Amino acid sequence: MTLDQRRYKRTERSEELLYFDDENIRYPGTIIDMSEYGLGVKANIAHRVGDELCFEGIEYLPLTLSGVVKWVHQTDDEDNYSMGIELEGAKNTYSPPKSI
């Protein structure tokens, strides 16, 4: 998805986390950007569009978020993938930190 196709402003991030799937298998990943409606995640697993994932321990969010994979692209580093995650039930719960 190109930047001009996005409906909501995203804030760049670089935050490592563990996330899990519906079988409770945990995976490492990195949040690369975030908005109040979605996440950009870099991981070494190519999840499928439609997979449901859960994310815990995201800075500024003391709860578990669930979301659905909307797109997956292999990165220039052939061992990693970028994913677009649409968050479920998290609208208006994330507010990017103010720049100082």
CATH number of the domain that residue 49 is part of:
2.40.10.220
Q: How many domains does the chain have?
A: 1
Q: Does residue 96 sit within a domain?
A: no
Q: What is the mean pLDDT of the chain?
A: 80
Q: Does residue 100 sit within a domain?
A: no
Strands (E), 1-100: 11-21, 26-34, 38-43, 52-55, 65-74, 81-88
State the pLDDT confidence band at 100, using cuts at 50, 70 and 90: very low
Range of the domain at 35: 3-88
Q: Does residue 78 sit within a domain?
A: yes
> What's the pLDDT score for residue 92?
40
Q: Does residue 94 sit within a domain?
A: no
What pTM does this model have? 0.76
Count of H helices and E strands in the chain?
0, 6
